A and B are shown apart, each in its own frame.
Chain A
């Protein structure tokens, strides 16, 4: 415990250093008052003029509107406007005398850390030999306690080790999406409507015969503060990865991408694997007022050097956070990003080829992650941060299946599927299809087959 710093604080230090390197203020473009408005602007005093020409006002009012106000307002009204904008600008940053800089916790609580302590072995009620165990009564289970992939249950790392588990599927039920919320119910919903690890109709592989798969339960998260979930989830993912099992994480909102990838890096080393990230949202917010959130997850991973930008491939960007500053930042970080504009311009197949080539050239090991918003709402209406004009489900599964078969997969994560938003439950079925695509890919690779292997019996009836 003592070797680790308190995670929220680590994040803070890193964020602070990021600001030192790229001071936000320097990003402000100077603004020159158009010549024809010079006379109107002359009613402003030096301080007001300096504020306007520094470009600071443009953060609150579009340029065209500012020009309009200059042209049409009388002196008093114009001064009032500029003064109002200046006071907004003054109040925008943190003031320790005025603002809460850290939300206090109840340090008198006897349950302060209760949700982050797995039951120690001597206090477990039941003794059993380690190893994954079935929760089903029948040899060919039809129903009963729902598990991911209908798999056996593992609870402790020794279960994973004893069972030589290849793939541990784990719920991370955080529920703090910056969009519509219910991703906390994602893991249960995906267990309850299981369509994972069924025999694969393309390769005719039966994943359960090739891989040892376990449902590794859920990792505990703090529902009132994402910050407090990060440390525990990171540690648990690392512990899982250290057993040799591939953690396949089921969110939860996309803030959990950060501890998911960080945990694998804790076990394997920063920068030792690439990251394929399918998401409508770049999640590279650099100036957030919190230290972690879904919108900051990619920023944190890249900024802390957990993954290298040049080993990172992003596909499907189109959300409201796609803007000049963000794309430029990603570019500077050497991230291979592929927006929906590129996909619409070049066609999906062409872009997919480019993506797969980039992945192929990358490190041997890859972490594959998907925020379900990348999928078009017609097939994923339950995406928390829903974004129209996305990818089709078969495009997504095709890409993921290929990469999971072509690379040494060190982790997988699917996030932000909010089941409540889809009374038809189609979104749950499709979320399972995405996870299944990676699972089948991993099985194809383990069976020694080529990534897009198609069994000859499937390809042609041969009559």
Chain B
């Protein structure tokens, strides 16, 4: 208990300092916030799209090219034409099959496709106009003024009648907080925020179904952990921070507001724990942390079956792009990215080559297949716990095998099992310096058994337990309770002799006293 109160006093001091230090950051717009009809303020070309080399054509096909202009011949030889005409051999073969007239139509069709696919000023809109005439333009993100409700002291509000129980469902049954004042007054350590973004490319119907179901079935999010004999709810002040508003017709438009709310949480020193919602969320979550802790000061560990560093499409955000966009905007150094569990079809060689060049540390299921989970686990935790790292954990539940999380937008078989996942998340949250966490891509409608939602809640619990261990100083490598991990009636594994001797000495001493 003494220990606890010292810790709390310390925490209070830290929180107070933190909120003073970061208060000035609020309201300061970072340049990447697009207002009006401004374009995206960063370079948006994909550097990984390498130009295909041009080819030479043999003299034997000259007659076939007779109707082409010089420019068209150059195009046919260029890298751009390779996507249609293939290698030099394929091209010659295709030319042989065609009359000069057909060759001309063929080349013009390729040019048409290339020309059509590029953005062209005047022909294509560079953006998607919103209806700025709408008198309700910002209705989707307007917060309810506190003054509309009866006055109350700031701080987390237990919603139930019976010692906090018996009210509307909250994440883990934790009290509700709705503002920064509530977080500060409640000395909150962890704020769980729902983010019902529903724009993933796979199955949809995440949205409010995900955040509502995690509240209905989220009782494991807190409470006692048998493995390490700690109760996160007793060690930490945990709150349900409500849901953040999203525009489910535009991921791009939702980003800034989510980032502001994440920043609001982090600026108090609390850990934002975001549950949702499609994986686009990783972008505003980490950007919000970078707003508070500084650019390139936060590392990210990305659990996912997908690498999510896609880029180069017409959109600038989607659930396949957050990693690339965070790096592109300088919130995170690529070298501070660790990825675990990748196994989807892509990326191909160029994607992995790029990741290596950038210094990203990827741990694919191929590595797990080669080395075994225990070896990979130790390697990942060691990397994530390197001195000085502040860590955000982004946990896409599709890193788990669909046997455990069938209700996810883009499931991929061959993933982690719950035992592996709980262990790595608990260890990371205990052994490294976690400043943020998100759990994403829960689509409850796909699972009438609710198993996926329950498993998701247990992943969150593993992190809450880990954070509690960290705060209690239980940061040694792979700590487990000696009491719950061994009955110690005998010395079966050969490592209990010390305990048995001590117990015997104790017993003898008691007998002697009697």
Contacts and interface: CB of A to CB of B under 8 A. Distances in A.
Interface of A: 1-2, 6, 8-9, 12, 15-16, 19, 24-25, 60-61, 77, 80-81, 83-85, 87-88, 91-94, 96-114, 116-117, 120-123, 175-176, 178, 180-182, 184-185, 222-228, 287-291, 293, 418, 420-421, 423
Given A92-B139, A110-B118, A180 B316 contact: no
14 contacts: A12-B129, A15-B133, A104-B34, A104-B316, A111-B312, A113-B116, A122-B106, A122-B108, A180-B205, A184-B204, A289-B138, A420-B203, A420-B445, A423-B448
B295 interface: no
Contacts of B358: none
Nearest to A2: B123
Given A84-B148, A176-B249, A184-B204, A289 B131 contact: yes
Nearest to A119: B113
B128 A113 contact: no
Contacts of B119: 105, 107-109, 112-113
A102 B147 contact: no
B357 to A, nearest CB: 20
B136 interface: yes
B28 interface: no
Given A98-B35, A103-B130, A288-B134, A109 B113 contact: no
Interface of B: 33-40, 43-46, 49, 84, 102, 105-106, 108-110, 112-113, 116-119, 123-140, 142, 145-148, 151, 198-199, 201, 203-205, 207, 209, 247-253, 256, 311-316, 318, 445-446, 448
A96 B129 CA distance: 12
Contact of A100 (B34, B135, B151, B314): B34
A289 B124 contact: no
Main secondary structure of the interface of B (DSSP, over half): loop
A332 B314 CA distance: 40
Contacts of B126: 104-105, 107
Nearest to A184: B204
Contacts of B136: 92, 287-289
Contacts of B105: 121-122
A228 B314 contact: yes
A111 B129 contact: no
A146 to B, nearest CB: 19
A123 B106 contact: yes
B249 to A, nearest CB: 5
B128 A182 contact: no
Given A8-B129, A176-B249, A289-B137, A108 B44 contact: yes
Closest 6 pairs (CB-CB, A-B): A84-B145, A181-B204, A102-B127, A96-B36, A120-B109, A122-B109
B148 A81 contact: yes
A181 B315 contact: no
Contacts of A8: 125, 128-129
A122 B314 CA distance: 26
Contacts of A98: 35
A177 B349 CA distance: 37
A420 B131 contact: no
Nearest to A12: B129
Contacts of A101: 35-37, 129-130, 132
A109 B135 contact: no
Given A117-B117, A123-B113, A104 B40 contact: yes
Contact of A88 (B44, B130, B145): B145
B176 to A, nearest CB: 20
Contacts of B207: 181
Which of A61, A84, A91, A99 is the most central at the interface, judged by chain B CB atoms within 10 Å of its CB?
Answer: A99
